[in-house]
């Protein structure tokens, strides 16, 4: 095996037994969440729904606010929660994913740069954001970012939800950075050598030969991170951003905060997230299996 600068560590020998132990091949692949979700049977949401109906009757049988009334309230709020709440979560997740993917791709490519400082710096940034709690990142962005920018002779206000998007895109960026680096390194070095011996430059090899082979293998982990990100968007409610969970709480308050409302309302939120992420998880695992067989 030959050393590709920035891509792998130097081989000390051509003999297989003397090669450095490949650590990357033996760590968990980061599909934990998606694998778990995709393994759930298809009737899980229906079971959840049944539990929602049954639970309040057992827990609050003596209460004067009936389960029927609670579901009646949910029914009234449902269109609002869906349109103003959940769609906003989806919007946040799509924007954060877009920003995180673009920034993460750049950061991932920086991690395989030939320049040592660039490589070290991008590695540090990746590890920092990958290993920080998402909520901490959200709060840092919320508190550290100005609420308005003076530019072009005017004042541009930055709403909190934009900060939420930026805060969520940071951990996504770091994880996508690792996905990109891992995918590039998973292409056999023989591909680099074949291209090198055809007089391709390093840049050409990366963009025309290595990366095109990576897109397919990057898709499942990318989708995995999208599902995780979507599930994390309710964190924004802690910043006061008016997404599904914030609006659910407000709706329950306006319905006099009966404890019987908790399970239907939050159960509904759970169902929405499940309905959105479950197909993604199933598709991800299917693609993962399909692409794993090839190459």
Interaction site with another protein (CB under 8 A): 2, 11-15, 18, 188, 190-191, 193-201, 204, 208-209, 212-213, 294-295
User: Closest approach of Cβ 178 to another protein, in Å?
Assistant: 23
Least distance from C-beta 196 to another protein, angstroms?
7
Residues listed for the chain: 295
| Of residues 202 and 282, the one with the C-beta less far from another protein | 202
Could you count the other beta carbons within 10 Å of the beta carbon of residue 88?
19
Least separation in angstroms between residue 17's CB and another protein is 12
- Based on CB atoms, which residue is closest to another protein, 19 or 286? 19
Output the six-digit token pair for 103: 């920034």
Residue with Cβ nearer another protein (158 or 194): 194
- Transcribe 188-227 into DSSP letters: -HHHHHHHHHTT--HHHIIIIIIHHHHHHHHHHHHHHHHH
CA distance 101 to 268: 30
Residue closer to another protein, measured from CB, 160 or 193:
193
Neighbours of 252 (CB within 10 A): 22
Residue the block writes with tokens 């998880």: 281
CB 208 to another protein: min, Å: 6
Written in H, E and C, the secondary structure of 118-142 is: HHHHHHHHHHHHHCCCHHHHHHHHH
Of the pair 145, 200, the CB lying nearest another protein is at 200
Quote the least distance from Cβ 13 to another protein, whole Å.
5
**69 or 196: whose CB is closer to another protein?**
196
**What is the smallest separation between the CB atom of 169 and another protein, expressed in angstroms?**
29
Q: Measured from the CB of residue 23, what is the shortest distance to another protein in angstroms?
A: 20
CA distances, 188 to each of 3, 40, 115 (Å): 11, 35, 22
Q: Which of 200, 284, 241 lies closest to 250 in space, CA to CA?
A: 241
Distance (Å, whole) CA 228 – CA 236: 14
Q: What distance lies between CA 166 and its chain's CA centroid?
A: 13
Token pair 């997230």 in the structure block, residue: 273
Shortest spacing between CB 114 and another protein, in angstroms: 14
Say if residues 43 and 293 touch (Cβ distance below 8 Å): no
Q: Which two tokens stand for residue 189?
A: 């070095």
Q: What three-state secondary structure class fits 147? A: coil
Between residues 136 and 198, which has the closer beta carbon with respect to another protein?
198
Decide whether 50 or 190 has the Cβ nearer to another protein: 190
């Amino acid at each position: 095996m030959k050393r590709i600068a920035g891509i792998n560590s130097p081989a000390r020998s051509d003999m297989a037994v003397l090669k450095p132990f490949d650590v990357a091949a033996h760590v968990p692949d980061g599909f934990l969440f998606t694998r778990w979700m995709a393994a759930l049977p298809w009737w899980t949401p229906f079971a959840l729904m049944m539990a929602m109906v049954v639970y309040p009757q057992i827990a609050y049988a003596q209460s004067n606010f009936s389960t029927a009334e609670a579901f009646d309230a949910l029914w009234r709020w449902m269109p609002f929660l869906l349109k103003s709440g959940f769609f906003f979560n989806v919007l946040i997740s799509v924007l954060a994913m877009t920003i995180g993917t673009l920034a993460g791709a750049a950061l991932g490519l920086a991690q395989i740069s030939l320049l040592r400082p660039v490589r070290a710096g991008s590695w540090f940034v990746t590890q920092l954001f990958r290993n920080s709690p998402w909520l901490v990142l959200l709060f840092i962005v919320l508190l550290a970012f100005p609420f308005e920018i003076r530019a072009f002779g005017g004042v541009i206000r930055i709403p909190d939800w934009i900060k939420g998007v930026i805060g969520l895109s940071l951990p996504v960026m770091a994880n996508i950075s690792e996905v990109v680096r891992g995918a590039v390194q998973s292409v056999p070095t023989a591909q680099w050598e074949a291209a090198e011996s055809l007089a391709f430059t390093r840049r050409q090899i990366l963009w025309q030969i290595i990366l095109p082979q990576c897109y397919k293998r990057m898709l499942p982990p990318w989708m995995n991170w999208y599902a995780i990100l979507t599930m994390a968007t309710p964190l924004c409610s802690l910043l006061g951003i008016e997404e599904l969970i914030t609006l659910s709480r407000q709706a329950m308050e306006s319905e006099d905060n009966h404890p019987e409302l908790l399970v239907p309302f939050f159960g509904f939120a759970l169902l929405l997230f499940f309905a959105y992420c479950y197909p993604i998880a199933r598709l991800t695992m299917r693609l993962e299996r399909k692409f794993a067989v090839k190459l």
